[in-house]
Structure formats: C-alpha cells, structure tokens
Amino acid sequence: MPPLRIAVLVKGYPRLSETFIAQELLGLEARGLDLAIWSLRHPHDGAVHPMHRKIRAPVSYLPEYLYQAPWRVLRGAVSALRRPGLWTFLALARRDLARDFTANRGRRLGQALVLARELPAQTDHIHVHYLHTPASVARYAAALTGRRWSASAHAKDIWTTPDWELADKLDDPRLAFAVTCTAAGAARLREVAAAPDRVSLVYHGLDLSRFPAAPETRPSRDGSDPADPLRVVAVGRAVAKKGFDDLLDALAALPPDLHWRLAHVGGGEELAALRAKAAALGLSQKVVFLGAKPQPDVVALLREADLFVLPAKRAPSGDRDGLPNVIMEAASQGLCVVATDFAGIPEFLRDGIEGRLVPPGDWGALSNAINLLARDPAERARLAAAALARLRAEFGAESGFDTIARLLEGAARR
C-alpha cells in the first residue's frame, strides 16, 4: 500500500522547547508515514536541534498575521465558496465567533481558509499538536475539505482552554482520536468529552537512541569545597508554570556553608525578571542564565551536573506542565532530580524512589531537599539509578510511536 500522507499542524516549527514533537515526527517517519509540516508561526529560537535536521518532512508556513498575506487569504476564501464543506465551516465559525469574538479567532479562521486551499489533494489526514488555537485551524480546515483530523494535547492547551471549546473539539464528528501525554491530562479531557473513550493516554517517553549512555561515575561533590561547588542545572522556558522564581528563593535560603552554582537553560518572557530577582537576592555570582540551547549543549550540562531541579507549579493563568521531557533527559544521564509533586511529574518520579518531590510553590521545602541531597552524593546516586532504570523499563518512546502510527493509519484508511 502507498504510504499515508499526513499533514501535521503545529503552532511553531522548529522550536527548541518542543523536543517531544520532533522526536515523534522522526518516529512516525521511521514507521513509513509520509509527513508534511504546517506551522502557524515562523521559528524564533535562532537554533535547531540535530534531530530537526533529520526530519524529512517539508515545512510550510501559514500567514502568522492575515494582513501579511492578504492574497493567500483571499484565494482561500474564494476557494472555500466551491467546497461542499462550506456550510459546515460557516456554522462552526458562527458558533465560535458568538462565544469568542476576538482577533485571534478571526486569525484562525483565515489560516484555515489558507490551509484548506493549499493542502495537496492527496493528503489523507490532518493531525495537530495542541488542542487550543492550532486545533481550531485543523478543525475548520477539516470541515472545509471533508477530511478527518486528530489531536495530540499536551499541557497549556488542556488547562487554559475553556470547557466549551474542549468539549466542542473532542465531540467533533470528524475527530478520529485525541491523545495526551499524562494521566492527569487524560482525566481532564475525559471529564469534558461526551465520548471519553476517544481520549487515549500515550506518554511521550524518551528515544534513548538519541542520547549517550549515562556517565559510569560522577564526582562526589557535596558542596563543602568552595573551589569545586555543587553544580545545579535547571532547564525550561522562563515562564510562571516552571517555578524558577521559587528556585531562586530556595537557593537564597541555603546555608552559607553549602557552596553551589546554578546554570539555567531556556528563553522565555520572564527571563529578565529572573535575572533581576537573582541580583536582588545577591545570587548574581552564583547563577548564570544561558538562554535557549540546542539539545547537545543541554546534554553536556546534564552530564557535568550534580543535581537537576524543576519546581513546576500552577501559573496564575491556570497553565501547568505535563510531564516535561527534560526530566527524563536528566534521568537518561544518570542525574538526580528534585521536582514538585505536581501535574504529570509524579507519574514518572516517585518521591524517595526515583527522585525527591516537594509541594509546588513551597520554596522552603525545595531548599531543604536541595540542601539534603547536595550533602549526600550516595543518595543522589541511588535515586538517579532508580530513575534511569524506570526510564528504560517503562518510558521508552518506541511504544508511543507505534501507538500514534497505528491510530493515524486507522484514521486515514477509513
């Protein structure tokens, strides 16, 4: 049988913070699917991961703002007039605009017109990452073109999208399936879906073939030597849900006889505020903000570090993490992890078994956990070994690739 041709719609491509999408694209291509990437935004990171260069799928960019490509939008609108799905599309547009009459909604409708016109006729199926704005574009385009669509939900899209919009998308008759990457996320989606069995839990896992083996040994730093301080690493976008403000408070509260250094990797809108807070707390000589980095640089830092910290929490907007891939990346390098007992994190790390978990937003408990582990290299090694063993046994990416490929093949063949 000829390979299935799947249009994969994403919010932005390529993005350094979305390694889970890139590794899935590679996994699906390895399973014989013919992919084409459609992105709502152009890249802004200025660098790419090596695996982005291995992805064969062509990339097309929809107009990020409609005024930048008026002729593409106009041609999409004229083309829509001849489509049998026009009335379905108009009904969806009217209902959504009645509840969300915003420029963002209008932009998604315009992008859908462009996508519907420019999708090659031989495209068998539309699959989208994220259930918020990207899924709106996918749903409208599927209605116009008579195709089925499917969705992978992750984190922000699950927790900040209104219930009515999640329910509408999950109950859409053209939706073939939805998957999400944490049990907490799956429970949330099943609560609002009329047919909960359309939602499947598929962990991203980690493609261990892309990572070097964990170092056989690590230095036994315990923070007692000012010439060789404990090396702490934090990786993630500088946004509220990552909790890096709590991390700075926790580090500032550490005893003065504990010597440490923190390296943070990631961009984000709160980076300047974190730098200012570090200065205000007197930590400027101990904390370095490296900005966004490609994966090889991140792995190199993980291999040289003594402790990885990610104090995720609920943001004021309601946004929250899923199961951050970087926690599994740290585990793949035999690095001990301190994180919060929140979102999808405890689905991989169990407190005292594979890592140390503290309550979200509790920087005092976080400081205590860092202090205790900093002084106990043997305990760090024990927890790290257990996390690596669980990663290998239960959180490899291959089974997830198989499941997604099977679901896409079933949807497209129908």
pLDDT at position 412 is 85
CA distances from 205 to 182, 195, 353, 401 (A): 11, 26, 19, 9
Question: How is residue 5 annotated by DSSP?
Answer: E
Checking if the pLDDT of 230 tops 80, the result is yes
Name the token pair of 44.
């802004």
Band (50; pLDDT cuts 50, 70, 90) = confident
Question: How is residue 21 annotated by DSSP?
Answer: H
Band (45; pLDDT cuts 50, 70, 90) = confident
pLDDT at position 119 is 97
Q: Give the Cα separation of 273 and 252 in Å (integer).
A: 16
Beta strands in 255-387 (DSSP E): 260-265, 287-289, 307-310, 337-340, 356-358
Contact 222/230 with Cβ under 8 angstroms? yes
3-state SS, residue 11: strand
Name the token pair of 162.
């209104």
Contacts of residue 268, defined as CB under 8 A and 6 or more positions apart, other chains included, come to 237, 238, 239, 242
pLDDT in tens, 346-403: 999 999 999 999 999 999 999 999 999 999 999 999 999 999 999 999 999 999 999 9
Q: Give the Cα separation of 100 and 198 in Å (integer).
A: 26
Average pLDDT, the chain: 95
Checking if the pLDDT of 2 tops 80, the result is no
- The pTM of the full predicted model, rounded to 2 decimals, is 0.89
pLDDT in tens, 161-219: 999 999 999 999 999 999 999 999 999 999 999 999 999 999 999 999 889 999 998 88
Helix 86-99 to helix 163-170 angle (10° resolution) is 160
Contact 360/309 with Cβ under 8 angstroms? no
Contacts of residue 373, defined as CB under 8 A and 6 or more positions apart, other chains included, come to 307, 336, 338, 356, 379, 380, 383
pLDDT in tens, 308-341: 999 999 999 999 999 999 999 999 999 999 999 9
Q: What average pLDDT does this structure show over 89-103?
A: 96
pLDDT in tens, 8-31: 999 999 888 888 899 999 999 999
